[in-house]
Structure 1
Amino acid sequence: MGESRALSRAEALRLGPGWRHACHALLYAPCPGRLFGAVPLGHAVLMQMRFDGRLGFPGGFVDPRDGSLEEGLNRELQEELGPGAAPLCLAEGDYLGSRSAETPQRLVAHFYAKRLSLEQLRALEDGATRAKEHGLEVLGLVRVPLYTLRDGAGGLPAFLSNAFAGDARQQLLQALGTLRLVPEAELRRAAALSGQPL
Structure 2
Amino acid sequence: MTDMAETGDGSWGHLAETEHFGRACTKYVLVPKADLGLPKYCGSTHAGHCLIFSRTEEKIFGIYQARALILMQLRFDGYMGFPGGIINDGEDILSGLNRELFEEMNLDVLKHPVKEDHYVITHWCPSKKLFLHFYALEVSIDELKVIEAEAIKAHDFGTETLGTFRLPLYTMGDGYRGFPAFLSHSYVGNAREQLLYTLQHLSIMTSEEIDKVVGARPVQMSIEENEEETHM
Could you tell me which amino acid in structure 2 is paired with residue 53 of structure 1?
G
Could you tell me which amino acid in structure 2 is paired with residue 38 of structure 1?
I
Could you tell me which amino acid in structure 1 is paired with residue 200 of structure 2?
G
Q: Does 1:162 align with 2:185?
A: yes
Q: 1:54 aligns with which of 62, 72, 79?
A: 79
* TM-score, normalised by the number of residues in structure 1: 0.91
Q: Does 1:81 align with 2:105?
A: yes
Q: Does 1:189 align with 2:209?
A: no
Aligned-residue CA RMSD in angstroms? 1.6
Q: How big is the shift at 1:86?
A: 4.4
Cross-structure match for 1:149: 172
Question: 1:83/1:168 Cα in 2 relative to 1: closer, same or farther (>3 Å)?
Answer: closer
Task: Please give the per-residue CA displacement for 1:22-70, whole angstroms capped at 9, x wherever unaligned.
Answer: 000111102232111121212101111111111100000003x524211
The answer (yes or no) to whether the contact 2:64–2:171 under 8 Å persists in 1 is no
Question: 1:6/1:143 Cα in 2 relative to 1: closer, same or farther (>3 Å)?
Answer: same
Q: Does 1:126 align with 2:163?
A: no
Q: Does 1:102 align with 2:126?
A: yes
Q: How big is the shift at 1:13?
A: 4.3
Cross-structure match for 2:95: 71
Could you tell me which amino acid in structure 2 is paired with residue 135 of structure 1?
G
Question: 1:55/1:194 Cα in 2 relative to 1: closer, same or farther (>3 Å)?
Answer: farther
Within 1, Cα distance between the matches of 2:110 and 2:162? 20
Could you tell me which amino acid in structure 2 is paired with residue 44 of structure 1?
L
Q: Which runs of 5+ in 2 are unaligned?
A: 1-24, 219-232
Q: How big is the shift at 1:137?
A: 0.6
Q: Does 1:137 align with 2:160?
A: yes
What count of residue pairs does the alignment treat as equivalent? Answer: 193
Task: Please give the per-residue CA displacement for 1:69-128, whole angstroms capped at 9, x wherever unaligned.
Answer: 11110000000001445421111111111111122x210000001111011111110011
Cross-structure match for 1:41: 66
Within 2, Cα distance between the matches of 1:83 and 1:28? 13
Q: Does 1:30 align with 2:30?
A: no
The answer (yes or no) to whether the contact 1:160–1:194 under 8 Å persists in 2 is no
Q: Does 1:111 align with 2:123?
A: no
Give the % identical residues: 34
Could you tell me which amino acid in structure 2 is paired with residue 29 of structure 1?
S
* TM-score, normalised by the number of residues in structure 2: 0.78
Question: 1:112/1:194 Cα in 2 relative to 1: closer, same or farther (>3 Å)?
Answer: farther
Q: Which runs of 5+ in 1 are unaligned?
A: none
Structure with bigger gyration radius? 2
Structure of higher RCO (CA pairs closer than 8 Å, 6+ residues apart): 1
Could you tell me which amino acid in structure 1 is paired with residue 179 of structure 2?
L
- SS of the residue corresponding to residue 32 of structure 1 reads coil
Within 1, Cα distance between the matches of 2:105 and 2:197? 23
Q: Does 1:174 align with 2:211?
A: no
Could you tell me which amino acid in structure 2 is paired with residue 75 of structure 1?
R
